A and B are shown apart, each in its own frame.
Chain A
Amino acid sequence: MTTATAPIRRAGSRRAYRADRVATAVLWALGAFVMLLLTAIILHFVIASIGVVSPSFLFSDPSRTSLGGIGPLLWNSIYMLVLTMLISIPVGLLAGIYMAEYSRDGFVTATIRFAEEAISSVPSIVVGLFGLIAFVDLTHWGFTALGGALALTMFNLPLMARLTEQALRAVPPDERAASLALGATRWQTIRHVVVPLGVPGIVTGFILTAGRIFGEAAALIYTAGLATPSHYDFFNLNITDPRSPWSPFRPAATLSVYIWNTNGEGLGAFVTQVLNGSAAILIAMVLIFNVGARVLGRQLTRRLTAA
């Protein structure tokens, strides 16, 4: 028989077990705390916005009701998101593909990577001031949606490129080797194996950058402006007309900018209600977008890997 060993029955006081339980409890508590925080924020604004959020609040103009609607601002937030993404997704994707698949490690790529990380961490108010010089004054555009979108692109593009690169680098080398060994070209391998497998990571990048667009105020104050239009005529499809809501060459205050502005300068009996309602809508939009992008990403992966 065996010589004396520790009893096989687990003794509750063993140090290793105690440490294990403590670690589990601490991690669980931290996770719960984060969940609680998120729930608290959402609940606060949901409750505060009861009686404020209604179809008329969502879709009407600020001056229409005594409360004031947020229709144009909601529209601008979505418009800015689409405009920024139109610029930063294709360029960011291609830059990320280049960095992950084609570039050789060296001084140039190290510099690009450093610049990507540095730019995306520059305070957004600084980006806004740069945008004021570059996209407002130098171009003589004045405050425009396009100027705002370009300012947002300045810190979204590097982030998008960096996250795409990381997503593609995380694709197992085995998959690349398998494709190349079957006589696929490098581009075919990227197009049919690497990018489809990187889609979940790319979608994460997409969501992170989109979240910043929804939430960003500082970079837009000096570029897209504070002007809250009194009314949008959606049948005006002339995109060169600054009065058309479809035009990129018009001032476009977003919901975040509106919240910031109203909080500072808003007058009237319903300021708090408007703020609460706007904040609730902003959170809802971020959540809807988040879930929507994930669902879309999953379907995209399925389509890309099956065809």
Chain B
Amino acid sequence: MTEDHDLTSVALEPAPVRVAVPVTPETPPAPAVEAKMAVADLVVTYGQRRAVRDVDLAVPPRSILALIGPSGSGKSTVLRCFNRMNDLVPGARVEGRVSLDGEPIDGPDVDVVELRRRVGMVFQKPNPFPMTIYENVAYGPRRRGIKDRAKLDELVERSLTRAALWGEVKEDVRRKSGLALSGGQQQRLCIARVLATDPEVILMDEPASALDPISTLRIEELMRELRTAYSIIIVTHNMQQAARVSDTTAFFTMGEDRAGYLVELGPTNQIFTSPKEQLTEDYISGRFG
């Protein structure tokens, strides 16, 4: 409870969070951009176990941030703080500050439903509802009370088009079940479903780890396209994927205390070519993890 009070008092001083762009000899100092989302002094505990500690992270707008690191380094835990999915885990406690457009989103007075509409999420395993393709995409808008047929039709088509799936399914959006699609198509359907809620940020938790290489590439292409309009945070096990798609990379690892923490944050090319931390270099060169 005391943390909650601290958090609300933080809200009173709307100091814009700035993205720290590391200055290295190779990259000239970039102008600071206002962060779309940010976490500060983040600590997440599950019951007695501390899963993540001391994370400070800012997500630049209209770009892709990749969270990489070995298993157990807390990447997914951090990701779930951005849309408060940790609320659903019994015994989970989140301390620290999390904000969207500089506004705190961790207090008890936050409209979590609206937060999750603005910060959408794509899961590791494609999880369309056992409904038609149309109803899958219309699910979010319907729950927000949109009933108008023409509006829903338009929204469904636009979302599926953006998710690069419309061409493949337009013949039977209303007849075919979302579960009848291939794995890669299902994942694009899940992305379309998120887009239909008109989000600002999209969280992706290893969105391609259950897919074949071709489907993976399609998802990656899609991410590059979506980047022009949305902030994307992706958790990935696959370093090549992080290198291919992301603009910024955050490397996490697990400490001696078995809690994950952020080791290094920087532009992706810098993290992969000249990391500043030995731990990062060891990980990306495959020496551990």
Contact = CB atoms under 8 A, between A and B. Distances in A.
Interface of A: 104, 172, 174-185, 188, 192-193, 197, 305-307
A68 B238 CA distance: 79
Interface string B218-237: 00000000000000000000
Contact of B121 (A181, A188, A197): A181
Interface in B102-153: 113-117, 120-121, 123, 125, 127, 129-132, 135, 139-140, 143-144
Contacts of B85: 177, 180-181
A17 B125 CA distance: 37
Contacts of A172: 127
Contacts of A176: 88
B75 interface: no
The 8 closest A-B pairs by CB, nearest first: A183-B117, A181-B121, A182-B140, A174-B127, A183-B116, A184-B143, A305-B131, A178-B127
B268 interface: no
18 contacts: A174-B123, A174-B125, A174-B127, A175-B129, A180-B88, A181-B83, A181-B85, A181-B120, A181-B121, A182-B193, A182-B197, A183-B115, A184-B139, A184-B143, A188-B143, A192-B139, A192-B143, A305-B129
Contacts of A104: 90
B116 A182 contact: yes
A177 B129 contact: no
Contacts of B114: 183
B59 interface: no
B155 interface: no
Nearest to B121: A181
Contacts of A182: 116-117, 120, 139-140, 143, 193-194, 197
Given A177-B85, A306-B132, A183 B127 contact: no
A177 B123 contact: yes
Most buried by A among B113, B125, B129: B129
A306 B135 contact: yes
A185 B83 CA distance: 14
Interface of B: 83, 85, 88, 90, 113-117, 120-121, 123, 125, 127, 129-132, 135, 139-140, 143-144, 190, 193-194, 197
Contacts of B197: 182-183
Most buried by B among A178, A193, A306: A178
Contacts of B194: 182
A307 B131 CA distance: 9
Given A174-B125, A181-B83, 13 more contacts: A104-B90, A177-B85, A177-B127, A178-B127, A180-B85, A182-B116, A182-B139, A183-B140, A183-B143, A183-B197, A184-B143, A305-B130, A305-B135
A170 to B, nearest CB: 14
Contact of A184 (B115, B131, B140, B190): B140
Nearest to A105: B90
Nearest to A183: B117
A174 to B, nearest CB: 4
A172 B127 CA distance: 10
A185 B111 CA distance: 10
Contacts of B83: 181
A181 B135 contact: no
B160 to A, nearest CB: 15
B139 A179 contact: yes
A181 B116 contact: yes
Contacts of A188: 143
Contact of A183 (B113, B131, B132): B113
A174 B85 CA distance: 12
